[in-house]
Structure 1
Amino acid sequence: TAGWVLAAALLLRAHPGVLSERCTDEKSRRILAALCREYEGGVLVGDLCEDLCVGEKLLYQRCLYYERGKKVLQADWRGRPIILKSKEEAFSSFQPLGLLQDAADEGGQDFPEAELLLLVAGEVKNALGLELSGGSLGPLWPGRRGPRWRGQLASLWTLLQQEEFVLFSLLQDLSRHALPVLGSCGHFYAVEYLAAGSPRHRALFPLDGTTGAPRGGRGQAKAVSDMALSFLDMVSHFEDDFSHRLHLCDVKPENFAIRSDFTVVAIDVDMAFFEPKMREILEQNCTGDEDCNFFDCFSKCDLRVNKCGAERVNSNLQVICDKIFRHWFSSSLWSSALSFPLQRQLRQAVQECADPGRTARRPPRAAPDVFWKLRRLLRETQRELQEAEK
């Protein structure tokens, strides 16, 4: 029985879509119609509801995917392509706010603001593991009390139960490597539409919409070097620029996109965790190191106490080198675009980064010096490509 359970778990990890619903336009339209009925009934609100439900300025385009309850839809908002996301299909699927259930007054106008702030801070701690003061909760605060304050709080509460929404909202003005939240309606929130990466693309990411669309081998090599440098910038940013390190535990092309200026953007952060939450996730019971692997985030098993260490032993850079850079720098992409010595140095640096020491008793993180080595080699690559164009 244990063997079958393990096999099923491995199957779901490798192919999470096996339990996904079929993504259809008919069902997607029904979901949005139900959302609008609840908006019209005063159950939920949001700054996008009027455009979606009344003004017909937010128009459904197509279903992107359903996965384990999560719904991801593409829409057009006043001529701008966007994505509508929710962790659950129905508003009622989320845990309701107890204050609203217990309130005696109809409008809920007498909720003490301090109590609401505590509740919001508690949900952020539950979602991300972060202890935030009231002054840091601005992007998540419901705003001025009005006639639909009750629906406003109920809607906020469904959004706060979605870790990705909370993370994107808090990073809104702090990171160019994360999607900003454009608005919401009930439990659905909107983000910018960017074409995701895919293993089907030779360069992993579609390059047609990028500034100065690449032509020929050198053009594509230049685009890849720009993207690689942006990945390094993102690694450094997530490592050093917040109060806690941000760990990416599901690194694959589909979870990133490239802006027209080749900036890398994390578009799916369901498996991204700040250090306090990461330590909480990793510190589990174990009988071997394999029990301490949480997707792309690894820990070590202390067999003296059969407990996984709370500290991650690999790094974002290591996984990006393994799952993104290996594809780029071991391919024929560079064959006619770059000198052989520089190609060899890049391959060696990526190998050193992705696999810094199999024989070590404790697998090390990618050393800081390999980050700077990669950055130097990528700068040299850009210079060499520019000189070849002259």
Structure 2
Amino acid sequence: MPSKFKIAPLALALAAGLTALSASAQEQLVRIGVSGPLSGANAFAGKDNENGVRLAVEELNAQKLKVGGKLLRFELMSEDDQGDPKAGVNVAQKFADAGVKFVLGPYNSGVAIPASRVYNDAGILMSTVGTNPKITQSRYPNVFRIVASDNQVGGSMAAYAAKELKIKTVGVIDDRTAFGQGIADEFAKQARASGLSVAGREFTNDKASDFSSILTAFRAKKVDAIFFGGYAPQGAPMARQMKQLGLSNVRLLGGDTLCSPEMAKLGGDAVGENVLCAQAGAMLDKQPGGPAFKTRYKQRFQRDPDVYAPAFYDQTMFIAQAIKSANTVDAAAVGRALHTMSYQGVAGTYGYDPSGNLKKTAVTVYTFKGGALSPLASY
């Protein structure tokens, strides 16, 4: 009798093991990596991006998609690249070692440029919101920019400043990052082409908090607006210091990184209709799936989506559609499918040219009203 009681647990364990093996044989694991700043001043953006992918992964798993007769199981693997190029390259190598074939990120252009080579060499498909044109100039077949580039965003902001705001003289500041310098270059180029006078070009860095000397110099030049190529953690105190220096009537212009609730949160009453920013994509609330996405996001994460959660969500869903279309999880085959397909996401329509840039994308100019983004125009 005692021996029977010893055998029974062993038999159950073997049966459970065989069942698990059978289940895994019918499953295809798809690891989705996310590379972004989960620490430091831009951690709010990194977490927002991660949440966009997480929501997509959860919804895809609920759909129970199959490829080659196997159930796809999507798994999120998120890593902190600290917004630092060296750390971003290390994250890329970590993903390669872990067998990740699809990566959403990096967030920062300065990280995306060197990391793209690692991803290309490892056969990993990379989808970034880095806007610097250099990212796609290498024409790696599996590198995709899922938003508008600096050329489009910076150019749209300059066109709006000239045509709608009737700005005559503008000062330009950048934070010397690949993103900040790139978008400031494009803005300045388009500003001159639109008839604006660029009164000067000043530089800071992405750790700075005191901009009084730069702002004082621009005050002396009587500029109508200041364009800042940089991120919200510097843009918000810049807006506060402009107010303190009596530059309340001088508009602060920027790219997509200033189109963040973080601007209003950090800038307080210094951030209002004096601040304008240009963001890739059409107005989310005007898109067919936009309001429903915002509702699902808030229910899941108890906060509103920030700038890029919709794009990260959309591209994850697009990758899943491409996997289904190609009938494989091979990254190269999925990349080829992405180049030939189009996808209607919550933030707009996605389709890529041979370099991995969006064939067509809207750019929306926003301002702030009551601490919230308020759209002004789409291009």
TM over 0.5: no
Scaled by the length of structure 1, the TM-score of the pair is: 0.24
Scaled by the length of structure 2, the TM-score of the pair is: 0.24
Higher strand share: 2
